[in-house]
Structure 1
Amino acid sequence: MNTSPIKAIVFDWAGTTVDFGSCAPILAFQRLFLDQGVAIEVSEARAPMGLEKRDHIAALFNMPRIAEAWQTVHGQPATEADIDRLYQAFIPYQLKAIPQCSDLIPGAVETFQDLRARDIKIGSNTGYASMMMPELIEKAAQQGYVPDCIVTASDVTRGRPYPDMLWKNLMQLGTSDIKTVVKVDDTVVGIHEGLNAGCWTVGLAVSGNEVGMSYQEWQNCTPEKQEQLKAKAHQTMQSSGAHYVIDTIADLPAVLDQIEARLTQGDKP
């Protein structure tokens, strides 16, 4: 077994390791709001992705079009009580959607095997609450993904972009040297979490929120369309401040080679 200067990698879940396109939350948010009489667009539902889900609902209500539509239907602006009520109503929608979108992203298993060979610990965190995770964790394990620890948004006081979930991972993993840690995420707010923690960050452009297509939808795109979508997603993730941007988790080992070389030379994030 090779010992890497990288000691731990903390992965997001949907759009990063599972659920190509990060589709489960979008299905749940759209169904939730539609049943409240307010239809929301996919682009609107995706905009706050990576946040804890109550914060995500609050962010949706901060969008002028959704706020206006809500007031038209319900006769008054959304209140904190409405946000609390919708969050509780959201949970069963999400629990239903997650198992439908639980496949590992192609190349993930091979990347996890590569990390184990380097003796790198595997952490994970998510904007999902803990009660949303059991079936997803089970399905991921059946496909060969068993991270060393899992931290959810309900396990900390502050979700992304605060670094609390990442730091909690490192406490559980027994890793304290932040320059030896890498955060991998498909959302801007997830990259900001890693930057705020002080670690290396790798943004995923194609498999997650920025392209926002299922694997089958992506495969059905023409090469020209794929290149167009990829270029836009790469630009967004690069603008987030990520140290590296790649298409999917399958491309991660080559980036780790570069980070290892930089650490050996004394570089820091």
Structure 2
Amino acid sequence: MNNIQKRLTDRKNIIEAVIFDWAGTIVDFGSFAPTTIFVEAFQKEYAFEITLKEARVPMGLGKWDHIKAVGKLDSVNQRWVTQFGKSMDDADIDKIYQRFIPLQKVKVVDHATPILNAINVVNDLKKQGIKIGSCTGYPRAVMDILIPVAAKHGYVPDCIVATDDLKHGGRPAPFMVLKNVIDLGVSNVANCIKVDDSTPGITEGHNAGMWTVALLLSGNEAGLTYQQYQQADKKTLEQARQKARVVLAKSNPHYMIDTIDDLPSVLTEIEKRLEAGERP
């Protein structure tokens, strides 16, 4: 028995699976691929302007639901009524969504670079016998383009569930992560960890009975580019961190960390808590 096999036997796979979000978690530092395309889709379909800040508010939802949620923001609704004489309805959402999908399919490749040490972290988990799941607010049509590009970068999760793969797949409902549980053959949801950069994604993990880890600096709420993150001083990073913490704390994650690079120490802590008999 080699050292890795011995370690797997000794630890008895207490943590069975980690289920990751995609944009802002594993790829696309700052989660810019979906947000910038929402801005563009509103503009191209209706010559209607939304801000990047408004586009970020419902991040984590399925994209049709995301558009609907943006339309319900007071600031957006007021401008929409002024421009069109009524609030946004489902037909409007359908049109924007149909405009969004081809734009997103083109742009998602440009934002497929893995975040920081993501590939090494994931591969180390695999070596420990931990299964790698994933789910996303992207529809399958977008994922079919993103998956092979991510694979070229070295990211190959054991399971991938898109928001439209299931009849009731949208976050914050737990169905996408539970589909991961089934497909990965996990024996206990309490032995799973959901890692995400959005409140719907963290709530999704809670609703499935999992441990939850929120990412503060690599995702949607901080909204930093990788270059801004690299160049920021301690004060700037702490301001971004606090901005994200205020929002993500509303979903009560078990842990909040800066990026996926900080995940291994959290897994060690969760494993100790599981060994002590704690549950999420």
Tell me which interval the TM-score lies in, with the shorter structure as reference length.
Answer: over 0.9
2:250 corresponding residue in structure 1: 239
Asked whether the 8 Å contact 1:27–1:97 carries over to 2, the reply is: no
- Are 1:130 and 1:152, in contact at CA under 8 Å, matched by a contact in 2? yes
CA distance in 2: counterparts of 1:212 and 1:160, whole angstroms: 21
- Residues 60-139 of structure 1 correspond to what in structure 2 (within 5 A)? 60-139=70-149
**Identity level (%):** 46
Structure 1 unpaired stretches of 5+: none
Separation (CA, whole Å) in 2 of partners of 1:144 and 1:32: 31
**2:239 pairs with one of 208, 228, 241:** 228
8 Å Cα contact 1:202-1:245 kept in structure 2: yes
Counterpart amino acid of residue 167 in structure 2? T
Question: What corresponds to 1:170 in structure 2?
Answer: 181
Distance 1:77 1:202 in 2: 36
Alpha-carbon contact 1:99-1:135 (below 8 Å) kept: yes
Amino acid across the alignment from 2:263: L
In the alignment, is residue 209 of structure 1 matched against residue 220 of structure 2?
A: yes
1:16 equivalenced with 2:25 (yes/no): yes
So what's the TM-score if we normalise by structure 2? 0.93
Give the Cα separation in 1 of the matches to 2:47 and 2:148: 34
CA distance in 2, matches of 1:73, 1:199: 44
Q: Which stretch of structure 1 is more off in the superposition, 71-80 or 53-62?
A: 71-80
Contact 1:37 1:73 in 2 (8 A): no
Aligned equivalents of 2:151 and 2:125: distance in 1?
A: 16
Return the alpha-carbon distance in structure 2 between the equivalents of residues 23 and 15 of structure 1: 8
| Residues 40-76 of structure 1, C-alpha deviations (whole Å, 9 max, x = no match) | 1111100000000000011011112212222332343
What is the Cα deviation at residue 118 of structure 1? 1.3
> In the TM superposition, what is the alpha-carbon distance from 1:109 to its structure 2 partner?
1.3
Which residue matches 2:207? 196
Residue identity matched to 1:170: V
Aligned residues: 269
Q: Distance in 1 between matches of 2:75 and 2:36?
A: 19
TM-score normalized with structure 1 length:
0.96
Question: 8 Å contact 1:167–1:197 — kept in the other structure?
Answer: yes
Deviation, 1:121, is 0.2
SS in 1 for 2:135: strand
Question: SS of the residue aligned with 1:198?
Answer: coil
Q: Which amino acid aligns with 2:222?
A: V
